[in-house]
Amino acid sequence: MNIQTQIQLKPFNTLSLDAIASHYIKVQSQQELVDALNYAKQQQLNVLILSGGSNMLLPEHIHALVLHMDIQGIEFVSEDEHSKTIRVGAGQIWHDFVLWTTENRLYGLQNLALIPGLVGASPVQNIGAYGVEAGEFIESVQVYDRQLEKFNLIVAADCDFSYRHSIFKDDPNRFVITHVTFKLLKHANLMLNYGDLKQAVGDEKTAENLQKQVIQIRQSKLPDPKEYPNVGSFFKNPIISEQLYDHLALAFPNLPHYPQAKGGVKIAAGWLIDQSGWKGKQLGMVGMFHKQALVLVNYDQATLADVKATYHVVQHDVQQKFNILLEPEPVLFDEAGLIRSHLE
């Protein structure tokens, strides 16, 4: 087992925060995972699971064993008349997997092209874009259950998928995802309910063109983390009550809003931030991106403290103007490698 010490995690988190991990190991198999977890137990170290690092906020020093998930592989499992089932290692790059599905004429995930991160993270916050969520195509998730100390297969119905949510988000220290099994369609059923995308796809209604247009839309609005370190949308789109929406709509009739099937109204956080004067604005080294105000960017060598200073002011300004408290989307870690609430 190759445990390394004092490892810089800056290249492994897309916000490019300086973060030194006291202990670090790359995990490439289920056996390596079990060995690493046993080592952490013996050494009384907390465990921090690192995937693509595209949704995490890390402090400058972390005293914990960082498990960098790198289990590879795409295997065919079964098929029926309409679909094929594919099992994918948690360490596969999400976007490359989406491209692979399209090349292999397997459909459903095209709207999710170019989302940063790895396959193993896709069920955690049930990644979603342009009217599709990963959970719709996940059949099951293979995990190591740290509570029961064994591998387990969790079927999608038990994952409790909803907007940016799953059981893996509720109970982050319990499960380590090793594989995700997807059930993909043999015949494309294009999801074009997102206005800009429908227009961009035009008359060429193929999954290949849909994927191409999603990539173009994302590239036109969202910063490339290599150029502008970021974690995608920094805040969730808040779901507010119908009463609060009706009240706000009187003052802000253009407020982008999406009534939810289960009640409440989803509001575009990017619009709220934009209207609060934060689009393209910086506080120190951290600011909100000039083409999409929902994306926070590390413009220089910011630390977690700098990131917090900026986003607290953004939250404050939005709350003052709209009476809505924005909830950050990325996961916040403390120096012991544990997940912390943004509200503390």
Query: What is the C-alpha separation between 4 and 26, in angstroms, rounded?
Result: 9
* Six-digit token string for 82: 């309409």
Examine residue 233 and tell whether it contacts ligand EPU (CB under 6 A): yes
SS3 277: coil
Query: What is the C-alpha separation between 169 and 138, in angstroms, rounded?
Result: 16
Contacts with ligand EPU, 126-165, as mask; x by CB under 6 A: ---xx-----------------------------------
By rule CB under 6 A, what count of residues binds ligand EPU?
A: 19
**201: closest CA among 100, 113, 70, 124?**
113
SS3 2: coil
Site for ligand EPU in 200-229 (CB under 6 A): 221-222
For ligand EPU, which residue of 279, 307, 317, 332 counts as binding (CB under 6 A)?
Answer: 279
- 46 phi, psi to nearest 5 deg: -70, 160
Examine residue 294 and tell whether it contacts ligand EPU (CB under 6 A): yes
For ligand EPU, which residue of 32, 35, 274, 334 counts as binding (CB under 6 A)?
Answer: 274
Residue 268 CB, shortest distance to ligand EPU, in Å, is 3
- Is 81 catalytic? The answer is no
Q: Which residue has the tokens 């849909």?
A: 210
Our CB check for ligand EPU shows the closer of 142 and 230 to be 230
CA max distance for the chain: 62
Our CB check for ligand EPU shows the closer of 136 and 274 to be 274
Tell how far CA 218 is from the center of its chain. 15
Please answer whether residues 112 and 132 qualify as being in contact, where contact means their C-beta atoms are separated by less than 8 angstroms. Answer: yes
Question: Interior CA angle at 108 toward 181 and 177, to 5°?
Answer: 25
For ligand EPU, which residue of 225, 232, 287, 328 counts as binding (CB under 6 A)?
Answer: 232
For ligand EPU, which residue of 118, 141, 293, 297 counts as binding (CB under 6 A)?
Answer: 293
- Is 335 catalytic? The answer is no
Please answer whether residues 67 and 49 qualify as being in contact, where contact means their C-beta atoms are separated by less than 8 angstroms. Answer: yes
Q: Which residue is nearest to ligand EPU (CB)?
A: 232
Query: What is the C-alpha separation between 65 and 57, in angstroms, rounded?
Result: 16
Our CB check for ligand EPU shows the closer of 179 and 218 to be 218
**325: closest CA among 257, 273, 280?**
273
> Catalytic pick from 54, 83, 140, 164?
164
Examine residue 292 and tell whether it contacts ligand EPU (CB under 6 A): yes
> Catalytic pick from 51, 166, 233, 276?
233
Our CB check for ligand EPU shows the closer of 185 and 239 to be 239
- Is 233 catalytic? The answer is yes
For binding to ligand EPU (CB under 6 A), which residues are involved?
A: 129-130, 194, 221-222, 232-233, 236-237, 256, 268, 270-271, 274, 279, 292-294, 329
Catalytic residues: 164, 233, 329
